[in-house]
Amino acid sequence: MEYSAAFKKLVVEKFNQVEKDTAMAVQYVGQDDFRNIVTTAQQDMLAFSKYIEVTFEFFSTHKYSKIALISIEDPERARILEILQSLMQDALAIMEQYAKCLDETEESNIVDSLHIIKDKAGVISLKIRFDVPAPPMETIVDASLLEICKNMVKLTAISKDYYTLNKMWHFSVRKIYPRIELSDTAIVIQGPVLYEGDFTLETLLYYRMLYPVTTIILSTWAGEVTTELRYMVEAAGIVVLENEKPEITGKTNVKLQAFSSLKGIELAERDKNIKYVLKTRTDQRFFLPDFLNYMRNMMSLYPVRRKELEGRIEFLGGYSSLLTYPFRLTDFMTFGTVGDIKMFYSCSCEDERLENTYRDEKTTEYQYDRVFRLTPRDDVFSALGYTKDERLALCQKIGPYKDPESYLAGSFYERVILGRIIEQSDDELMHYWEFLKNAAIIIDPLQLMFYWKKYDNEYMTNNPLIADGGLTNSTWLQIYLHEFEE
């Protein structure tokens, strides 16, 4: 096979198998099967080494890739070859430790060797993914990127709309990624592990490569994490937190989400040096390399205007974040100070308004009809011109019930800022806009190169920057600068 992203994926898979073998060996120390498992690990490591040799040969003999996405000038070539040589040396060092495991009789010495292997494995797993570039494949069997683009041209000609492809570099690494040292920030990735395509694993390793000293916590449920996954992420210095599910989970998934998020945040909070925390999900990824720096910079640019908070809270715009549906902010991401984000997820999730949303199907149907069909007709300029009576009438149509997204943000506002439950006579939409203006920041998905491996979003998304009724960074800035009447 010609060297490409697909070949590089095979290299990664080969080393993943080595790590899985070693994880099993750790479990079988002192047992009869231990020697067989270590021998298998040696064989898999040898196969991995041969793949590295093929990669080394490619970069030794090729001046550039076919599609010129990788510049292999002499300094760059020397850097890549040096990395590949170090990978071969690391592989050799691991092979030596495997040999020690087979020769040793003292169990403590065997355990020491396995620890050395794990430390080196964590280094190798990042190097092979992110330090060795690989060109993407343009044609695989019948699938041709060129043919897809030709069909998009035809579609554009017929529909008169324009279409583009949005590349997300994964195994096709084109440039050297930055290593950004942020020791006062934590990332909490919450939710069930997505094993398809090793998505959660690859996300965790990507974040670790970008932020080598940042605390990264996978907060999930007991039984979700396999022995192999735990070994691979811990080898890269990532913390695994398996939580027991609450006995009472409530009518929606919001209680589970809040619970596992809070547990991860509380774990991060134990490190007194950590000031900021990002809560994100196991089925989503930010491809922007400096995404944490971007979020921190936004905090500096827009100081909070509420004494109850240490800083603003950042949310992801687009998708289900809406302008005229009170507190309808996507639950994908929150970023802020540890104390503020902890308060955000410290909700009871036992609000009657939340449960009624799911008990009353007619109410639910009407709410979503309002959200996804009527609300998109409202733009920020006309919405900010609504009278109080018009705002009250709109909220009355939506009703008092809360879906998970609006419950999390709305209950936070009630508990922390307002100090009471919003009543039907309140101007709830104005409360929402005041919250956005003084205590929140909205970031667009495209600004973070956001990727969601769910539904059709895996391959195509409607442009989340279109502001028709959606809450985007652009509409948020209009609210931020708008002078509301007292």
Which token pair is 94?
Answer: 């691991």
Q: Per residue in 67-93, pLDDT tens?
A: 444 556 677 788 889 999 999 999 999
Say how far residue 115 (Cα) sits from the centre of its chain. Answer: 29
Category of 3 on φ-ψ map: left (φ > 0), alpha (ψ -120 to 50) or beta: beta
Give pLDDT, residue 68. Answer: 41
Flag whether pLDDT at 248 surpasses 90.
Answer: no
Q: Which amino acid is at 470?
A: G
Return the pLDDT at 369: 61
Cα separations (Å) of 324 from 251, 312, 381, 411? 25, 21, 12, 17
Alpha carbons 440 and 335: distance in angstroms, whole number:
10
| Separation in Å, CA 404 to CA 87, 122, 327, 347 | 47, 37, 10, 12
pLDDT at 67: 40
Query: Average pLDDT, stretch 244-255?
Result: 78
| Predicted confidence (pLDDT) per residue in 19-68, tens digit | 999 999 999 999 999 999 999 999 999 999 999 999 998 888 876 554 44
**What pLDDT, on a 0 to 100 scale, did the predictor assign at position 429?**
95
**pLDDT of res. 251:** 65
Q: How confident is the model at residue 363 (pLDDT cuts 50, 70, 90)?
A: low
pLDDT value at 312 more than 50: yes
pLDDT reported for residue 69? 45
Q: Is the pLDDT of residue 485 over 90?
A: no
411 or 66, greater pLDDT? 411
If you average pLDDT over residues 11-26, what whole number do you get? 97
Q: What is the pLDDT of residue 58?
A: 86
- Assess whether pLDDT exceeds 50 at residue 110: yes
Please give the model's pTM, rounded to 2 decimal places: 0.92
| Angle, CA of 446, 183 and 417, to the nearest 5° | 65
Average predicted confidence (pLDDT) for the chain: 88
236-245 mean pLDDT: 96
HSE toward the beta carbon, residue 332, CA cutoff 13 A: 23
d(CA 457, CA 283): 11
**Better pLDDT: 53 or 454:** 53
pLDDT in tens, 146-193: 788 888 889 889 998 887 777 777 887 766 789 999 999 999 999 999
- Please name the residues in contact with 310: beta carbons below 8 A apart, sequence gap of 6 or more: 304, 336, 337, 339, 340
| Residue 283 reports pLDDT greater than 90 | yes
Q: Which residue has the tokens 């922007």?
A: 288
Contacts of 470 (CB under 8 A, 6+ apart): 317, 318, 319, 321, 322, 323, 376, 464
Length of the chain: 486
Q: For residue 101, is pLDDT > 90? A: yes
For residue 253, what pLDDT is reported?
77
Has residue 367 got a pLDDT over 60?
Answer: no
Residue 75's pLDDT is what?
A: 78
Q: Which residues have CB under 8 Å from 146's CB, separation 6+?
A: 138, 139
- The total of other beta-carbon atoms located within 10 Å of residue 198's CB is 18
